[in-house]
Amino acid sequence: MSIGHALLGLLETGPRHGYDLKRVYDERFGHDRPLAYGQVYSTLSRLLRNGLVEESGVEPGGGPERKRYAITDAGVTDVADWLVTPENPQIYLQSALYTKVVLALMSGRDAEEVLDVQRSAHLRAMRGLVARKQQGDLTDQLICDHALFHLEADLRWLELTAARLGELAKEVDN
Amino acid sequence: MGAETAGDGPVNEILLGGVELRKSFGSTPALDGAALAVRPGEIVAIMGPSGSGKSTLLHCLAGIVAPDSGTVTFQGQDLARLSDRQRSALRRSEFGFVFQFGQLVPELSCVENVALPLRLSGVRRREAEKTALDWMARLEVESLGRKRPGEVSGGQGQRVAVARALVTAPKVIFADEPTGALDSLNGEQVMRLLVATARDSGAAVVLVTHEARVAAYSDREVVVRDGRTRQVELVP
Ligand SMILES: Nc1ncnc2c1ncn2[C@@H]1O[C@H](COP(=O)(O)OP(=O)(O)O)[C@@H](O)[C@H]1O
Ligand SMILES: [Mg+2]
């Protein structure tokens, strides 16, 4: 999961302080793994260096936690590209995909497209496995079938999520 | 993707195309601007949740159901401009069909079922059954020739149905959830043989399925949601 992209995505809804970003991230995506402050600030300084965010005002009192960050145009483009670049099909991708879907909804983008490109990437991997299975021996078949069933499970989750996008959009709005 | 596996003929040649297809049953739209283009020999999966319009799209493309608006063309010919009789003739000679189950005539033997489309086109019994047995051999069910559909397993019955769909050497096979009533192993076998024989004979396949493992036998997929098609071109 790319934390940098997730933070950028959150910044798209408006400038935020570092601590505020951490709070929203943990709430939405952090479930069992909240971000460390250090990680937030090191990520933000990398994004700053790369021109994807800029400082937008410092509250009186000073100190790094007082800085507010805003996304730049380059940052918005970066988020948009990331959202429609499918994750590598592998087991346990859900958290990355979930994050993308929520951020797409939050920023008013086409969340279905996020799911569509992922489905395509999965099916492409599955086609490769089917081809390999047909040329291989029984061992190959069993190995490929194992992978095929796992990718299929991802896709079932993806279809269920696609069917619930309306519902999820409402929840994200709150 | 797809173009390089699309049999012979120019890469961009479209065998079967549906544009802006709309179809309502009563007040609920089943298709709401769906589109699909199939090239010769191409295997296209139509995916999507239950009730999204997959079967209606297949029926429109196959000339079984007339869309309220939009056009379906086969080899450049608008299906709506054909008479009912011409459309039936086209379905009989150029299209083959495989459904989820229940498509074999229970009173006929398996070989008679497979030979049926040829018999309907006027081929003599002996010759029709000989051709039928050849196709049954390719589907690995030639030993079931004299059995009735009620006496064979679900997977065997579907392979008989595939043989019947292919027996007239059609240009397009329409398969609507062909493995929907089968377990994984039998489903895989039907898909493997369906795809292999379709490729051998150069037939395109329009495959409706909600199962990803079945869709993985296709060259590309089209997703239907709420009666609309979504196609994704992945950057390689
Ligand atoms: N012959 C019919 N009469 C009335 N409603 C129909 C008929 N065929 C399909 N529908 C409706 O049209 C919609 C799409 O159906 P269908 O194409 O069968 O979907 P799918 O094959 O994706 O499950 C559904 O709401 C279904 O109830
Ligand atoms: Mg259906």
Which of A90, A133, A142 has its CA nearest to residue B195? Answer: A133
Which of B74, B57, B87, B82 has its CA nearest to residue B14? Answer: B74
Which of B43, B213, B218 is the best mutation test for A, with the most CBs of A within 10 A?
A: B213
Token pair belonging to A45: 């300084």
Cα separation, A100 vs A79, whole angstroms: 9
Taking every pair of Cα atoms in chain A, the longest distance, rounded to a whole number of angstroms, is: 70
Cα separation, B15 vs B219, whole angstroms: 15
Where helices occur in chain A by DSSP H, the ranges are 3-11, 18-28, 37-49, 73-83, 94-106, 111-135, 138-163, 165-173
Q: Could you list the beta-strand ranges (E) of B11-107.
A: 16-25, 28-38, 43-47, 69-74, 77-78, 95-98
Any A CB within 8 A of B183 CB:
no
Token pair belonging to B93: 């000679």
Closest chain B residue to A115, measured at CA: B232
A53-58: strand order across its sheet: A16-17, A67-71, A53-58
Instruction: Choose the residue to mutate in B50, B56, B211 for probing ligand 1, maximizing ligand atoms within 8 Å of C-beta.
Output: B56
Q: Where does residue B145 fall: left (phi above 0), alpha (psi -120 to 50 degrees), or beta otherwise? A: alpha
Token pair belonging to B236: 């390689």
Token pair belonging to B125: 């019994």
pLDDT band for position B6 (cuts 50, 70, 90): very low
The Cα-based distances of B178 to A28, B13, B35, B215 in angstroms read 41, 27, 22, 11
- Residue B209 CB–ligand 1 contact under 6 Å: no
Q: Can you tell me the ipTM of this complex?
A: 0.84
Which helix H or strand E contains B207, and what residues bound it? strand B204-208
The residue nearest atom 4 of ligand 1, judged by CA position, is: B25
Any A CB within 8 A of B199 CB:
no
The more confident residue out of B3 and B26 is B26
Which of B55, B103, B70, B64 has its CA nearest to residue B84? Answer: B64
Nearest residue, CB atoms, B234 vs list A121, A134, A152: A121
The residue nearest atom 20 of ligand 1, judged by CA position, is: B51
Cα separation, B35 vs B39, whole angstroms: 14
CB atoms within 10 A of CB B102: 10
Put simply, the answer to whether B213 touches A120 (Cβ < 8 Å) is: no
**Average pLDDT of every residue of chain A:** 89
Cα separation, B135 vs B141, whole angstroms: 9
Q: Are B131 and B118 in contact (CB under 8 A)?
A: yes
Distance of CA B91 from the midpoint of ligand 1 (Å): 21
For A4-21, what is each residue's pLDDT tens digit?
999 999 999 999 999 999
Q: Calculate the CA A80 to chain-centre distance.
A: 11
For residue B217, give how far its alpha carbon lies from the nearest alpha carbon of chain A (Å). Answer: 6
Put simply, the answer to whether A112 touches B225 (Cβ < 8 Å) is: yes
Put simply, the answer to whether B221 touches A123 (Cβ < 8 Å) is: yes
For strands B204-208 and B172-176, give the pairing. parallel
Nearest residue, CB atoms, A152 vs list B192, B212, B221: B212
For A74-106, what is each residue's pLDDT tens digit?
999 999 999 989 888 876 666 788 899 999 999
Cα separation, B101 vs B179, whole angstroms: 9
The Cα-based distances of A2 to A25, A99, B69, B106 in angstroms read 12, 10, 46, 58
The residue nearest atom 5 of ligand 1, judged by CA position, is: B25
**B180 pLDDT more than 50:** yes
Q: What torsion do the CA atoms of A147, A150, A151, A154 make, to the nearest 10 degrees?
A: -170
For residue A34, give how far its alpha carbon lies from the nearest alpha carbon of chain B (Å). Answer: 33
pLDDT band for position B236 (cuts 50, 70, 90): low
Put simply, the answer to whether B221 touches A119 (Cβ < 8 Å) is: yes
Supply the pTM of this predicted model. 0.84
For B34-83, what is each residue's pLDDT tens digit?
999 999 999 999 999 999 999 999 999 999 999 999 999 999 999 999 99
- Residue B30 CB–ligand 1 contact under 6 Å: yes
Worst-scoring range by mean pLDDT, A112-126, B98-112, B221-235?
B221-235
Shortest-distance atom of ligand 1 to CA B50? 23
Query: What are the chain A neighbours of B230 within 8 Å (beta carbons)?
Result: 112, 116
Distance of CA B1 from the midpoint of ligand 2 (Å): 26
- Residue B87 CB–ligand 1 contact under 6 Å: no
pLDDT band for position B146 (cuts 50, 70, 90): very high
Q: Name every residue whose Cβ is closer than 8 Å to that of residue B193 and which is 6 or more positions away in sequence.
A: B138, B139, B140, B159, B162
Q: Name every residue whose Cβ is closer than 8 Å to that of residue A35 and which is 6 or more positions away in sequence.
A: A3, A22, A25, A26
Question: Which residues of A sit within 8 Å Cβ distance of B?
Answer: 86, 112, 116-117, 119-124, 126-127, 129-130, 134, 148-149, 151-152, 155-156, 159, 162-163
Token pair belonging to B189: 């076998």
Cα separation, A123 vs A30, whole angstroms: 29
Confidence at residue B90, expressed as pLDDT on a 0 to 100 scale: 93
